[in-house]
Amino acid sequence: MFAADLYFRVIGDTSYDAAEAAIRRYLEALIFQGQILGREFPTVLQQEHFVSRVVLPAQDALLMAHHSDAGRQALHALQQAGLSYPKAEIAGVDLMSNHTDPCPSAEQYILYCRFAQMNSVLYCARHFAPVPLYRFGVDTGFEDLIRWQLQYQALDEVQMQQNSILLQPAERALQNFGSKLNRQGRAFARSISRRIAKPVYYALYRGSSTDCDTETQRRCPGCGGEWLLPEPWHHRFDFRCDRCLLVSNIAWQCQG
């Protein structure tokens, strides 16, 4: 990932409110296309420029070819608000982010999400590295998927807090194969798989277990088949079902 500054030069009559609304609209379009990562982007006025600090999944993320219809419309709205098209200056590699997958195209993918990782939820199954969403097309955008990601991360953060009063409901939503959260996640994996004509596994989180002695005997919740792997996949997934395109881990409380 790369930290970058976006410079919006003032080229006409504008106001703080108009500039703020236009910049916000553009940044939101980039978020929902997977072109920038995160939720909050500090924006300041420096002489004749508004400057926003963002995180890019790759150096080519802001190319016009990757913009959705909403992104292109937001670009035109910038000029209507008296601002230029943004000029990007990459500050350097973001040391606090995961590195984007080096493959130009993977054969398989994993839809995987955790609260502390703001990168793409689609990972190359070979390197287990995130793949920018905009690489999967610009026809429909990814707003629904990214909004699902935000909900997943909020629940994941809650269940990580051991003293949370919402610990059990959050954990059930994350662990239960039939929860609405996981049904939606699997639906996204299937939809993307159909779009790109490649397998997309869904990572089913497992945090706790009622019986650690039988944890490795779990069956695939999709088909009931055996899915325990001889060795963990990517040092993370102990279970994999190639029929249901599901992966999971031995409950964290049962490890070590």
CA distance 216 to 135: 36
Q: Which residues have CB under 8 Å from 52's CB, separation 6+? A: 5, 6, 8, 23, 27, 41, 42, 43, 86
Q: Quick check: is 8 in a domain?
A: yes
pLDDT digits (tens, 9 = 90+) for 184-242: 999 999 999 999 999 999 999 998 888 999 999 999 999 999 999 999 999 999 999 99
**Residue 138 shares a structural domain with residue 250:** yes
Amino acid, single-letter form, for residue 216: T
How many structural domains is the chain composed of?
2
Does this model's pTM top 0.75? My answer is: yes
Residue with tokens 């949370």: 164
**Residue 20 shares a structural domain with residue 115:** no
3-state secondary structure (DSSP) of residue 65: helix
Q: Quick check: is 151 in a domain?
A: yes
**Residue 85 shares a structural domain with residue 167:** no
Whole-number pLDDT of residue 14:
87
Question: What phi and psi, each to the nearest 5 degrees, are found at residue 25?
Answer: -60, -40
**Residue 145 shares a structural domain with residue 76:** no
CA distance 188 to 60: 25
Strand order in the sheet with 2-9: 43-46, 49-56, 2-9, 87-93
pLDDT digits (tens, 9 = 90+) for 85-112: 999 999 998 887 778 888 778 899 999 9
**Residue 179 shares a structural domain with residue 138:** yes
Helices of type H across 120-202: 143-160, 167-175, 180-196
pLDDT (average), residues 167-195 = 94
**Residue 44 shares a structural domain with residue 133:** no
Q: Which residues have CB under 8 Å from 76's CB, separation 6+? A: none
pLDDT (average), residues 47-66 = 94
CB 132 within 8 A of CB 126: no
Judge whether residue 256 has pLDDT over 70: no
**Residue 250 shares a structural domain with residue 208:** yes
CA distance 22 to 62: 17
CA distance 149 to 169: 18
Find the CATH number of the domain harbouring 87: 3.30.70.100
Range of the domain at 157: 109-254
Whole-number pLDDT of residue 138:
65
**Residue 236 shares a structural domain with residue 119:** yes
**Residue 29 shares a structural domain with residue 136:** no
**Residue 124 shares a structural domain with residue 178:** yes
